[in-house]
């Protein structure tokens, strides 16, 4: 919480009001306490107030119960990560208090439910303790016997008071949220909220006020990564999907099942992961590129189908919301350990496209890019997201839907002749035609997983296998030249380049900012195109003494994470080294900087 | 017209084949026009007959290449699409049905025919056989059942009878065989028939009924593997001294229990339609959901529908 100047001097009973540009609030309770709702309201409010926001949450992988947290970082300037340390910890229970006090910065505020939490003397010297009888005051405000209901909204009121949040906007958000439900529910929620807001902190704590946002005048939408991905696919023109439930992918299938019928499309819940990949391929073969997706073990099951799509040159979108692996692993934790399966899974020489969105907004646009690459190059495309992006909420500038909207309905006009696997095609691909298309020559193609001739008929010819293998590879080399070199964050030359992919982009950028602020020569690079890698990376790397690849995966048998190993294989450059971790949590900026310094010192 | 709102690529294609005058007028394709690669099957294989009768069906019913697709999995029988001069796909082992479902649901203008074998449909693809039946996807499945793995040269198949000597059961098969008819009936298939490649007229009659059925139609077609299970179906072939028993005239095809009982008759059993009922298809159910949602969005353009959703996320 970066204070600028106190706006009012502290005098007597009136609490001091400080101007701040950003704040990190961590809410800790149990999974059924509705703490996600508090976080959701705060995030949405930030979106409507033209502020930036990023959230982070953990949920237990059990159906109900278990500790859960929701962290919100709101800022009037750029917000790149969910924040290393919290400024305020709102905790409902003793276990939430003791378990999360370490996430609070020294001097931060613990706002605790005095009905359930007893402060510990060893913490009292380092943190400012503010006890409010949240549970009993909620019951007092809305009556009834439901012991836990409404205390989240009461707490939202407390936070609103503490940070001088826009009450009118919050009231509207609460009313919208419960709209359509019984009127008494809205009334109770507002009563709880007002009771919290009306609570008099007295001299217990300072109060805060956000500075004016630097993002004046932009309209923002607020959503999580899975929503952005689903809506991106719809905007891209996808009208068919198939899947099987698995965390954290399921949100996307639920969203598409719910939304696609509005656009004349459908999403089918299948008997298993293999069927869903097969069904999406069938729909793709017959028309518009279709989507399947999964997480963890489900991705492994789709690999044979993926190989068929590559061999038959039938497009497909495969969404992979990565979680901790291998096997069932850590279903509700983040990890970036599916890069290898996305790039190399399935047998044989099977080149495919892998894209990794770096934040929630990027999920929307990556979905569109993936659809366009799949359609143009007749190839399966992986969208490699992860649990952290999937579940975190961000506010981002509203996309211009009319402009990005696509119609990818296939053209069924008759053609004279068609060779689906034309070896003379300039860039290794032809415009695909689909069933229902009349071919005047009377010669029809077969889509096949067997090695084939130019019409798709099986062949055992060694020459054709070599030519077709090269064709499938070459078209992606054409793509590599087309995607363009990624932009460096910071100066193009210096001592250290921190390389990342996917959701580490935010913390890496913040690490770069912080390091540069301290006078260190550090730049950052996020690679969105994982396969094929864009051309020109070697030119970027040549500007730095150290290239450190930051990933949320293990250092592997040979000391390098999955992207680091690929980059080393690609560039044979010993200055490419790896920073890895597998604790199931996102990177803190401090982690990255500490690890970077340790590596540089070890070398010296 | 907002094309992207349609699941179908064109309005015209939605007109049922039977009432589309432009289609009714045209001639059926000849065997010459429909034949592609020369089949790779062994001389004497029962699958030749199934292919010939598929050509007959397409000719008789005047289906042209812009109206149907032939889909298969892996196995001897699954080489099928290469031999048909039309749009088709040779998919992976066991998964022809979900692949075909993707086509059937997104392209209701197409007749979708899937061809499979006993290993492909009942073993590696057993799960999909059950679920495609229960979902009642509008398509036809012909399983050429030879009771042995032929392409991999004589291993026990899920329909191999007890005691059948294969390379994986030198002492004779010990696992209880699947009864595909009973499985299909119990899983909710709405059209279940049985035929044998040695009776061409019967095969064609079953194919025609399957094609006309609205929903998932399944034909088990006995098709002898002369290489690895010669004589397996002689007792169903009058020319080899067997008997071809049709489903009794009095059998009620809508009676699930009677169909199940009839399917339990020991080999050579009966031939014909065992079960046929009408239940809303997956295609109809999904179309209903779409119609309901489309009615709600009214005249809005597609991008405006998402805009409305985004407006709620502000």
Write the ipTM: 0.94
- Is residue B7's pLDDT more than 50? no
**What is the rounded CA–CA span in Å between residue A237 and residue A341?**
27
Residue B194 falls inside a structural domain: yes
Chain A: give the shortest CA distance to residue B187, in Å.
Answer: 13
Phi, psi of A477 (to 5 degrees): -70, -35
Residues B197 and B305 in one domain: no
Residue B191's beta-bridge partner residues? B217, B276
| Cβ separation B86–A444 shorter than 8 A | yes
Residues A246 and A202 in one domain: no
User: Per-residue b/e over B262-301, b at no fewer than 16 CB within 10 Å?
Assistant: bbeeeebbbbbbbbbbeeebbbeebbeebeebbeebeebe
Residue B2 falls inside a structural domain: no
- E-strand spans in A454-585? 488-489, 494-500, 522-526, 529-531, 544-551, 576-580
Chain A: give the shortest CA distance to residue B258, in Å.
Answer: 28
User: pLDDT for A106-131, tens place per residue?
Assistant: 999 999 999 999 999 999 999 999 99
Residues B297 and B150 in one domain: no
For residue A585, what is the DSSP state?
S
Residues A165 and A293 in one domain: no
Neighbouring residues of B172: CB distance < 8 A, sequence distance ≥ 6:
B162, B163, B164, B165
Strands A17-20 and A207-210: parallel
| Cβ separation A282–B67 shorter than 8 A | no
Q: Given A235, A265, A271, which is nearest B127 (Cβ)? A: A271
Taking Cα atoms as reference points, which of B85, B108, B111, B113 lies closest to residue B97?
B113
Interface of A with B in 578-597 (CB under 8 A): none
User: pLDDT for A249-259, tens place per residue?
Assistant: 999 999 999 99
Q: Given B99, B289, B305, which is nearest A282 (Cβ)? A: B99
Q: What would the DSSP string read from start to end of A115-153?
A: TT----HHHHTTSEEEEE-HHHHHHHHH-SS-SSTTHHH
Q: Given B87, B105, B306, which is nearest A283 (Cβ)? A: B105
Collapsed DSSP state (helix, strand, coil) of residue A271: coil
| Cβ separation A278–B99 shorter than 8 A | yes
User: pLDDT for B69-114, tens place per residue?
Assistant: 999 999 999 999 999 999 999 999 999 999 999 999 999 999 999 9
- The pLDDT of A231-249, averaged and rounded, is 97
Collapsed DSSP state (helix, strand, coil) of residue B101: helix
> Which residues in chain A touch residue B67, judged by CB atoms under 8 angstroms apart?
436
Among B37, B106, B116, B309, the strongest candidate for a mutation testing the A interface, having the largest count of A CBs within 10 A, is B106
Q: Which two tokens stand for residue B121?
A: 């449909």
Q: Please give the pLDDT value at position A214.
A: 78
> Which residues in chain B touch residue A446, judged by CB atoms under 8 angstroms apart?
81-82, 88-90
Q: Given A275, A398, A405, which is nearest B310 (Cβ)? A: A398
Own/partner long-range contacts of A84-87 (Cβ < 8 Å, ≥24 apart): A84/A588, A84/A589, A84/A590, A85/A24, A86/A24, A86/A25, A86/A26, A87/A1, A87/A23, A87/A24, A87/A25
Residues B250 and B309 in one domain: no
| Cβ separation A305–B306 shorter than 8 A | no
Length of chain B: 314
Q: Which two tokens stand for residue B305?
A: 């529908």
**What is the rounded CA–CA span in Å between residue A147 and residue A514?**
45
Domain end, chosen from A352, A381, A404, is at: A404
Residues B285 and B244 in one domain: no
Share of chain A above pLDDT 70, in %: 96
Residues B219 and B123 in one domain: yes
| Cβ separation A279–B37 shorter than 8 A | no
- The pLDDT of A170-178, averaged and rounded, is 91
Q: Which two tokens stand for residue A582?
A: 């597998």
How far is C-alpha A575 from the chain's CA centre? 29
Neighbouring residues of A159: CB distance < 8 A, sequence distance ≥ 6:
A25, A38, A42, A88, A90, A111, A165, A196
Share of chain B above pLDDT 70, in %: 92
| Cβ separation A287–B9 shorter than 8 A | yes
Residues A68 and A181 in one domain: yes
Q: Does A417 touch chain B (CB under 8 A)?
A: no
A299 and A276 Cβ atoms separated by less than 8 Å = no
Q: Please give the pLDDT value at position B119.
A: 97
Order of all β-strands in the sheet with B139-145: A446-448, B88-90, B68-72, B111-117, B139-145, B216-222, B191-196, B270-276, B245-246
Q: Please give the pLDDT value at position A10.
A: 41
| Crossing angle between the packed helical segments A273-286 and B126-135, to the nearest 10 degrees | 60
- E-strand spans in A43-200? 52-58, 67-75, 86-91, 104-113, 128-132
Strands A104-113 and A128-132: parallel
CATH number of the structural domain spanning residue A186: 3.40.920.10
A395 and A79 Cβ atoms separated by less than 8 Å = no
Domain end, chosen from A192, A218, A244, is at: A218
**What is the rounded CA–CA span in Å between residue A379 and residue A316?**
7
Q: Does B121 touch chain A (CB under 8 A)?
A: no
- Give the total number of structural domains in chain B: 2
Taking Cα atoms as reference points, which of A261, A305, A257, A260 lies closest to residue A284?
A305
Chain A: give the shortest CA distance to residue B255, in Å.
Answer: 27
Average pLDDT of chain A to the nearest whole number: 93
> Which residues in chain A touch residue B309, judged by CB atoms under 8 angstroms apart?
231, 259
- Give the total number of structural domains in chain A: 4
Interface of A with B in 148-177 (CB under 8 A): 176
User: pLDDT for A197-232, tens place per residue?
Assistant: 999 988 778 889 999 887 777 799 999 999 999 999
Residues A426 and A556 in one domain: no
| Cβ separation B71–A264 shorter than 8 A | no
- The pLDDT of A396-409, averaged and rounded, is 97
CATH number of the structural domain spanning residue B22: 3.40.50.970
Query: Minimal Cα distance from B6: which residue of A?
Result: A264
Residue B7 falls inside a structural domain: no
How many residue pairs bridge chain A and chain B with CB atoms within 8 Å of each other? 210
Q: What would the DSSP string read from start to end of B282-302?
A: HHHHHHHHHHHHHHHHTT--H
Residues A494 and A591 in one domain: yes
Between the two ends of chain A, the Cα-to-Cα distance in Å is 35
Q: Does B9 touch chain A (CB under 8 A)?
A: yes
More confident residue, A204 or A535: A535
**Rg of chain A, C-alpha, whole Å:** 26
> Which residues in chain B touch residue A438, judged by CB atoms under 8 angstroms apart?
64-66
Residues B199 and B63 in one domain: yes
Q: Please give the pLDDT value at position A13.
A: 58
Domain end, chosen from A404, A423, A458, is at: A404
- The pLDDT of A48-61, averaged and rounded, is 83
Residues A286 and A399 in one domain: yes
Q: Given B65, B131, B304, which is nearest A271 (Cβ)? A: B131
Taking Cα atoms as reference points, which of A456, A380, A460, A468 lies closest to residue A424?
A468
Residues A283 and A156 in one domain: no
Q: Other CB atoms closer than 10 Å to residue A133's CB: what's the count?
A: 15
Q: Please give the pLDDT value at position A308.
A: 98
The single residue listed with the structure tokens 């399917």 is B263
Q: Please give the pLDDT value at position A145.
A: 59
Neighbouring residues of A500: CB distance < 8 A, sequence distance ≥ 6:
A508, A524, A525, A526, A527, A549, A550, A551
Query: Minimal Cα distance from A307: which residue of B?
Result: B92
A51 and A213 Cβ atoms separated by less than 8 Å = yes
- The pLDDT of A308-315, averaged and rounded, is 98
For A444, the domain range is 410-483
Q: Please give the pLDDT value at position B16.
A: 46
A444 and B65 Cβ atoms separated by less than 8 Å = yes
User: pLDDT for A266-283, tens place per residue?
Assistant: 999 999 999 999 999 999
Residues B61 and B210 in one domain: yes
Kindly tell me the sign of the dihedral angle through the C-alpha atoms of A500, A503, A504, A510.
positive
Q: Does A304 touch chain B (CB under 8 A)?
A: yes
The single residue listed with the structure tokens 């609570």 is A199
Q: Please give the pLDDT value at position A62.
A: 65
Residues B31 and B120 in one domain: yes
Residues B161 and B301 in one domain: no
- The pLDDT of B170-199, averaged and rounded, is 98
The single residue listed with the structure tokens 């009095």 is B250
B76 and B46 Cβ atoms separated by less than 8 Å = no
**What is the rounded CA–CA span in Å between residue A265 and residue A241?**
9
- Is residue B152's pLDDT more than 90? yes
Residue A294's beta-bridge partner residues? A320
Q: Please give the pLDDT value at position B23.
A: 52
Chain A: give the shortest CA distance to residue B4, in Å.
Answer: 5
Q: Which two tokens stand for residue B122?
A: 């009942």
Neighbouring residues of A277: CB distance < 8 A, sequence distance ≥ 6:
A242, A292, A301, A302, A305, A306, A316, A318
Confidence of residue A513 (pLDDT cuts 50, 70, 90): very high
- pTM, to two decimals: 0.94
For B286, the domain range is 281-314
Taking Cα atoms as reference points, which of A3, A70, A2 lies closest to residue A30?
A70
Residues A391 and A440 in one domain: no
Average pLDDT of chain B to the nearest whole number: 93
Tell me whether residue B11 is exposed, middle or buried, using C-beta atoms within 10 angstroms of its C-beta: 0 to 12, 13 to 18, 19 or more. Answer: exposed
Residues A457 and A562 in one domain: no
- Is residue B161's pLDDT more than 90? yes
**What is the rounded CA–CA span in Å between residue A233 and residue A319?**
10
Phi, psi of A27 (to 5 degrees): -110, 125
Residues B158 and B294 in one domain: no
B90 and A448 Cβ atoms separated by less than 8 Å = yes
Q: Given A265, A280, A445, which is nearest B102 (Cβ)? A: A280
Interface of A with B in 275-294 (CB under 8 A): 275-276, 278-288, 290
Residues A573 and A597 in one domain: yes
Confidence of residue A242 (pLDDT cuts 50, 70, 90): very high
Residues A475 and A581 in one domain: no
Interface of B with A in 190-229 (CB under 8 A): none
Chain A: give the shortest CA distance to residue B250, in Å.
Answer: 37
- The pLDDT of A430-449, averaged and rounded, is 97
Q: Please give the pLDDT value at position B20.
A: 53
CATH number of the structural domain spanning residue A229: 3.40.50.970
Q: Does B107 touch chain A (CB under 8 A)?
A: yes
Asked whether the bond before A326 is cis by omega within 30 degrees of 0, the reply is: yes
Residues B169 and B299 in one domain: no
**H or E element that contains B206:** helix B200-212
CA angle B244-B246-B251, nearest 5°? Answer: 155
Q: Does B187 touch chain A (CB under 8 A)?
A: no
Residues A204 and A227 in one domain: no
Q: Given B10, B87, B313, which is nearest A221 (Cβ)? A: B313
Q: Other CB atoms closer than 10 Å to residue A483's CB: what's the count?
A: 17
Q: Please give the pLDDT value at position A35.
A: 87
User: pLDDT for B269-295, tens place per residue?
Assistant: 999 999 999 999 999 999 999 999 999
User: pLDDT for A3-46, tens place per residue?
Assistant: 544 444 444 456 788 899 999 999 999 888 888 888 889 999 99
- The pLDDT of A307-330, averaged and rounded, is 97
Share of chain A above pLDDT 90, in %: 82
Residue B259 falls inside a structural domain: yes
């Amino acid at each position: 919480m970066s204070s600028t100047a106190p706006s009012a001097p502290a005098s007597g009973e009136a609490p001091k009001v400080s101007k701040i540009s950003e704040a990190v609030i961590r809410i800790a309770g149990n999974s059924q306490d509705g703490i996600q709702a508090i976080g959701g309201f705060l995030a949405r409010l930030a979106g409507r107030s033209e502020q930036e926001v990023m959230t982070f949450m953990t949920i237990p992988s059990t159906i109900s119960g278990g500790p859960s947290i929701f962290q919100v970082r709101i800022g009037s300037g750029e917000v790149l990560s969910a924040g290393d340390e919290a400024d305020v910890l709102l905790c409902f229970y003793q276990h939430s208090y003791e378990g999360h006090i370490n996430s609070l910065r020294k001097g931060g505020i613990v706002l605790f439910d005095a009905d359930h939490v007893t402060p510990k003397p060893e913490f009292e010297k380092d943190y400012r303790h503010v006890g409010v009888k949240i549970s009993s005051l909620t019951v007092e405000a809305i009556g009834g016997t439901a012991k836990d209901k409404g205390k989240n909204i009461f707490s939202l009121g407390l936070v609103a008071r503490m940070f001088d949040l826009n009450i009118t906007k919050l009231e509207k958000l609460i009313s919208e949220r419960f709209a359509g439900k019984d009127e008494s529910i809205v009334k109770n929620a507002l009563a709880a909220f007002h009771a919290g807001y009306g609570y008099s902190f007295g001299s217990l704590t300072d109060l805060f006020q956000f500075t004016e946002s630097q993002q004046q005048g932009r309209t923002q939408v607020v959503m999580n990564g899975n929503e952005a991905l689903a809506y991106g696919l719809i905007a891209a023109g996808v009208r068919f999907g198939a899947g099987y439930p698995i965390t954290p992918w399921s949100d996307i299938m639920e969203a598409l099942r719910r939304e696609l019928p509005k656009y004349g499309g459908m999403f089918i819940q299948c008997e298993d992961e293999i069927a869903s990949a097969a069904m999406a391929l069938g729909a793709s073969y017959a028309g518009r590129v279709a989507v399947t997706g999964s997480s963890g073990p489900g991705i492994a099951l789709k690999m044979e189908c993926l190989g068929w799509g590559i061999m038959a040159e039938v497009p497909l979108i495969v969404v992979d919301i990565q979680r901790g692996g291998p096997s069932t692993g850590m279903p509700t934790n983040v990890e970036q350990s599916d890069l290898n399966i996305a790039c190399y899974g399935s047998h044989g020489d099977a080149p495919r496209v892998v894209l990794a969105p770096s934040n929630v907004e990027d999920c929307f646009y990556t979905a569109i890019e993936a659809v366009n690459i799949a359609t143009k190059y007749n190839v399966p495309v992986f969208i490699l997201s992860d649990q952290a992006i999937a579940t975190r909420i961000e506010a981002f500038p509203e996309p211009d839907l009319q402009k990005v909207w696509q119609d990818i309905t296939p053209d069924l006009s008759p053609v004279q002749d068609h060779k689906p696997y034309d070896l003379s095609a300039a860039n290794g691909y032809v415009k695909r035609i689909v069933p229902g298309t009349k071919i005047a020559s009377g010669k029809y193609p077969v889509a096949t997983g067997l090695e084939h001739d130019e019409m798709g008929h099986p062949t055992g010819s060694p020459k054709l296998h070599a030519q077709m293998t090269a064709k499938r590879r070459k078209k992606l080399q054409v793509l590599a030249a087309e995607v363009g070199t990624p932009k460096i964050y910071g100066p193009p030359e210096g001592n250290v380049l921190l390389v990342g992919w996917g959701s580490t982009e935010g913390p890496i950028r913040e690490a770069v900012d912080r390091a540069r602020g301290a006078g260190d020569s550090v730049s950052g690079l996020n690679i969105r195109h994982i396969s094929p890698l864009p051309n020109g990376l070697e030119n970027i790397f040549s500007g730095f003494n150290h290239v450190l690849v930051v990933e949320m995966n293990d250092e592997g048998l040979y000391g390098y994470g999955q992207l680091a190993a690929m980059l080393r294989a690609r560039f044979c450059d010993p200055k490419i080294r790896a920073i890895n971790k597998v604790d199931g949590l996102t990177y803190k900026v401090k982690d990255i900087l500490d690890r970077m310094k340790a590596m540089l010192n070890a070398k010296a | 017209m907002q094309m992207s709102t349609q699941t179908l690529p064109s309005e015209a294609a939605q007109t049922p084949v039977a009432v589309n005058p432009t289609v009714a007028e045209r001639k059926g394709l000849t065997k010459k026009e429909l034949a592609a690669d020369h089949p790779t099957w062994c001389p004497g294989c029962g699958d030749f007959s199934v292919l010939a009768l598929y050509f007959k069906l397409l000719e008789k019913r005047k289906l042209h290449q812009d109206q149907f697709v032939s889909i298969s999995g892996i196995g001897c029988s699954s080489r099928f699409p290469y031999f048909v001069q039309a749009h088709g796909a040779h998919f992976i082992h066991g998964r022809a049905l979900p692949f075909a479902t993707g086509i059937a649901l997104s392209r209701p203008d197409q007749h979708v025919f899937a061809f499979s074998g006993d290993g492909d449909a009942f073993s590696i693809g057993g799960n999909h056989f059950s679920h495609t039946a229960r979902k009642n996807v509008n398509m036809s499945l012909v399983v050429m059942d030879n009771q042995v793995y032929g392409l991999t040269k004589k291993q026990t198949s899920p329909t191999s009878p007890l005691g059948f000597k294969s390379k994986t059961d030198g002492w004779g098969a010990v696992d209880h065989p699947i009864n595909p008819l009973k499985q299909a009936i119990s899983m909710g298939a709405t059209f279940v028939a049985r035929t044998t490649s040695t009776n061409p007229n019967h095969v064609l009659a079953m194919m025609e009924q399957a094609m006309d059925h609205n929903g998932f139609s399944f034909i088990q077609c006995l098709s002898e593997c002369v290489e690895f299970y010669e004589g397996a179906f002689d007792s169903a072939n009058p020319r080899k001294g067997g008997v071809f028993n049709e489903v009794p005239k009095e059998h009620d095809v809508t009676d699930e229990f009677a169909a199940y009982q009839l399917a339990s008759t020991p080999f050579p059993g009966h031939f014909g339609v065992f079960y046929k009922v009408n239940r809303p298809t997956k295609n109809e159910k999904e179309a209903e959901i779409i119609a309901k949602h489309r009615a709600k969005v009214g005249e809005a353009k597609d991008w405006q529908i998402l805009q409305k959703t985004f407006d709620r996320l502000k």
